[in-house]
Structure 1
Amino acid sequence: MTENTNENKNLAEIKDLSVSFMTDAGSIKAVEDVNFTIPRKTVVGVVGESGSGKSVTARSIIKLLPETATTSGAVYLSKRDGTDSLDVLSLSGEQLRQVRGSEAAMVFQEPNSVLNPVYTIGWQIEEGLRAHGLKDKKALRAKAIDILEKVGIPDAETRVDYYPHQFSGGQKQRIVIAMALVLNPGLILADEPTTALDVTVQAEILDLLRLARDEFDASVLIITHNMGVIADIADQVVVMYRGHVVEQGTVEQVFYHPQDDYTKRLLGAVPRIGQKLVVRDREGRPIERKTDWREQPVAVEAKGLTITYPGHLMQPDFKAVDGIDFTIHRSEVLGLVGESGSGKSTTGRAIAGLQKVSGGSLNVLGIEMNGVKERDFKPKRADIGFVFQDPGSSFNPLMTIAENVAEPLIVHRKYGSVAEAKDYVGDLLEMVQLPRAYMNRFPHELSGGQRQRASLARGLALKPSLLIADEPTSALDVSVQAKVLELFKRLQVEIGFACLFITHDLAVVDMLADRIMVMHKGRIVEHGDADQIMQRPEDPYTKKLLASLPVPDPREQQIHRAQLHELLAAEA
Structure 2
Amino acid sequence: MPSIPASTDPTRAGAADGAPATEAVLRLSALTVAFDTPGGTVTAAREVTLAVARGECLGVVGESGAGKSQLFLAVLGLLPGNARTQGSARFRGSELLTLEPAMLDHVRGAGIGMVFQDPMSSLTPHLQVGEQIAEVMVRHRRLSRRQARKRALELLRRVQVADPERRLRQYPHQLSGGMRQRVMIAIALSGEPQLLIADEPTTALDVTVQAQILALLAELKRERGLALVLITHDPGVVAGIADRVSVMRDGRIVETGAVGAIFRSPREPYTRKLLREARGPDLAGDAPHSSPPAPAAPGAPPALELAGVSVRYTIGRGWLGRRAKLAALSEVSLELARGEALGVVGESGCGKSTLVRAVLQLLPLHAGRVVWMGRALGGLPRSALRSLRRDLQIIFQDPFGSLDPRMTVGEIVAEPLEVHARDFTPAAHAAAVAAALSQVGLGAELASRYPHELSGGQCQRVGIARAMILRPQLLACDEPLSALDVSTQEQILTLLGELRRASAMCLLFVSHNVALVQRLCERVLVLYLGRMMELAPAAALYSRPLHPYTRELLAAVPVPDPDIQPARLERAGRGEPPSPLTPPSGCVYRTRCPHAAAVCRERIPAWEKLPDGRYVACHRWRELG
TM over 0.5: yes
**Residue 307 (structure 2) aligned to one of 298, 303, 325:** 303
In structure 2, the residue matched to 1:337 is: 345
8 Å contact kept, 1:410–1:418? no
In structure 1, the residue matched to 2:547 is: 539
In structure 1, the residue matched to 2:620 is: none
1:117 to partner: Cα distance: 1.7
> 1:353/1:14 Cα in 2 relative to 1: closer, same or farther (>3 Å)?
same
**Residue 265 (structure 2) aligned to one of 242, 251, 257:** 257
8 Å contact kept, 2:233–2:485? yes
- Residue 64 (str. 1) matches residue 72 (str. 2): no
Alignment of 1:376-455 (within 5 A): 376-413=384-421, 415=423, 418-419=426-427, 421-429=429-437, 442-443=450-451, 451-455=459-463
> 1:403/1:116 Cα in 2 relative to 1: closer, same or farther (>3 Å)?
closer
Report which stretch shifted further, 512-521 or 370-379. Answer: 370-379
SS of equivalent residue, structure 1 residue 534: helix
SS of equivalent residue, structure 2 residue 546: coil
SS of equivalent residue, structure 1 residue 346: helix
> 1:262/1:413 Cα in 2 relative to 1: closer, same or farther (>3 Å)?
closer
Q: Report the Cα distance in structure 1 between the residues aligned to 2:545 and 2:441, rounded to whole angstroms.
A: 37
Alignment of 1:145-156 (within 5 A): 145-156=153-164
In structure 1, the residue matched to 2:477 is: 469
Give CA deviations for 1:202-247 in whole Å, capped at 9, x if unaligned: 1111111112211122111010001110112111101111111110
SS of equivalent residue, structure 2 residue 221: helix
TM-score by length of 2: 0.83
8 Å contact kept, 1:309–1:318? yes
> 1:394/1:138 Cα in 2 relative to 1: closer, same or farther (>3 Å)?
closer
8 Å contact kept, 1:279–1:486? no
**Residue 293 (structure 2) aligned to one of 289, 292, 297:** 289
**Residue 18 (structure 1) aligned to one of 28, 32, 53:** 32
**Residue 49 (structure 2) aligned to one of 16, 19, 35:** 35
The sequence identity of aligned pairs, in percent, is 38
SS of equivalent residue, structure 2 residue 569: helix
1:277 to partner: Cα distance: 6.6
Q: Report the Cα distance in structure 2 between the residues aligned to 1:405 and 1:72, rounded to whole angstroms.
A: 38
Letter in 2 for 1:22: D
In structure 2, the residue matched to 1:45 is: 59
Q: Report the Cα distance in structure 2 between the residues aligned to 1:34 and 1:173, rounded to whole angstroms.
A: 28
SS of equivalent residue, structure 1 residue 327: strand
> 1:157/1:464 Cα in 2 relative to 1: closer, same or farther (>3 Å)?
closer
**Residue 118 (structure 1) aligned to one of 109, 123, 126:** 126
SS of equivalent residue, structure 2 residue 280: coil
Q: Report the Cα distance in structure 2 between the residues aligned to 1:438 and 1:32, rounded to whole angstroms.
A: 24
> 1:201/1:491 Cα in 2 relative to 1: closer, same or farther (>3 Å)?
same
In structure 2, the residue matched to 1:82 is: none
Alignment of 1:196-345 (within 5 A): 196-272=204-280, 274=282, 278=287, 289-291=293-295, 296-313=300-317, 314-345=322-353
8 Å contact kept, 1:45–1:236? yes
Letter in 2 for 1:315: R
- Residue 54 (str. 1) matches residue 62 (str. 2): no
Q: Report the Cα distance in structure 2 between the residues aligned to 1:505 and 1:153, rounded to whole angstroms.
A: 23
In structure 2, the residue matched to 1:505 is: 513
Q: Report the Cα distance in structure 2 between the residues aligned to 1:72 and 1:438, rounded to whole angstroms.
A: 29
Letter in 2 for 1:310: T
Letter in 1 for 2:397: Q
8 Å contact kept, 2:239–2:565? yes
> 1:202/1:290 Cα in 2 relative to 1: closer, same or farther (>3 Å)?
same
> 1:87/1:444 Cα in 2 relative to 1: closer, same or farther (>3 Å)?
closer
Give CA deviations for 1:88-125 in whole Å, capped at 9, x if unaligned: 22321222233222221111111122221222211111
Letter in 2 for 1:64: L
> 1:45/1:103 Cα in 2 relative to 1: closer, same or farther (>3 Å)?
same
Q: Report the Cα distance in structure 2 between the residues aligned to 1:123 and 1:330, rounded to whole angstroms.
A: 53
SS of equivalent residue, structure 2 residue 97: helix
Give CA deviations for 1:426-472 in whole Å, capped at 9, x if unaligned: 55555556566665555556665555454444323333322211111
Give CA deviations for 1:107-154 in whole Å, capped at 9, x if unaligned: 111112222122221111111111124243332222111111111112
SS of equivalent residue, structure 2 residue 178: helix
SS of equivalent residue, structure 1 residue 560: helix
8 Å contact kept, 1:273–1:506? no
Letter in 1 for 2:56: T
- Residue 86 (str. 1) matches residue 90 (str. 2): no
Give CA deviations for 1:315-370 in whole Å, capped at 9, x if unaligned: 31211111111111101001111112111111111111212111022212222234
Aligned residues: 558
8 Å contact kept, 1:402–1:425? yes
8 Å contact kept, 1:401–1:442? yes
8 Å contact kept, 1:348–1:470? yes
Q: Report the Cα distance in structure 2 between the residues aligned to 1:439 and 1:389, rounded to whole angstroms.
A: 21
1:69 to partner: Cα distance: 2.5
Q: Report the Cα distance in structure 2 between the residues aligned to 1:429 and 1:522, rounded to whole angstroms.
A: 35
Q: Report the Cα distance in structure 1 between the residues aligned to 2:449 and 2:81, rounded to whole angstroms.
A: 28
Q: Which runs of 5+ in 1 are unaligned?
A: 79-84, 281-285
> 1:293/1:219 Cα in 2 relative to 1: closer, same or farther (>3 Å)?
farther
Q: Report the Cα distance in structure 1 between the residues aligned to 2:483 and 2:555, rounded to whole angstroms.
A: 21
1:500 to partner: Cα distance: 0.7
Report which stretch shifted further, 383-392 or 356-365. Answer: 383-392
Alignment of 1:157-176 (within 5 A): 157-176=165-184
> 1:140/1:298 Cα in 2 relative to 1: closer, same or farther (>3 Å)?
same
1:391 to partner: Cα distance: 4.6
Letter in 1 for 2:349: G
8 Å contact kept, 1:271–1:482? no
> 1:259/1:211 Cα in 2 relative to 1: closer, same or farther (>3 Å)?
same
SS of equivalent residue, structure 1 residue 220: strand
Report which stretch shifted further, 222-231 or 390-399. Answer: 390-399
Q: Which runs of 5+ in 2 are unaligned?
A: 1-12, 14-18, 576-591, 597-625
- Residue 558 (str. 1) matches residue 566 (str. 2): yes
8 Å contact kept, 1:46–1:237? yes
Letter in 2 for 1:145: L
1:41 to partner: Cα distance: 0.3
Q: Report the Cα distance in structure 1 between the residues aligned to 2:271 and 2:297, rounded to whole angstroms.
A: 38
1:250 to partner: Cα distance: 0.7
TM-score by length of 1: 0.90
SS of equivalent residue, structure 1 residue 321: strand
Q: Report the Cα distance in structure 2 between the residues aligned to 1:154 and 1:293, rounded to whole angstroms.
A: 52
> 1:267/1:409 Cα in 2 relative to 1: closer, same or farther (>3 Å)?
same
> 1:316/1:489 Cα in 2 relative to 1: closer, same or farther (>3 Å)?
same
Give CA deviations for 1:538-557 in whole Å, capped at 9, x if unaligned: 11111111111101111122
8 Å contact kept, 2:212–2:573? no
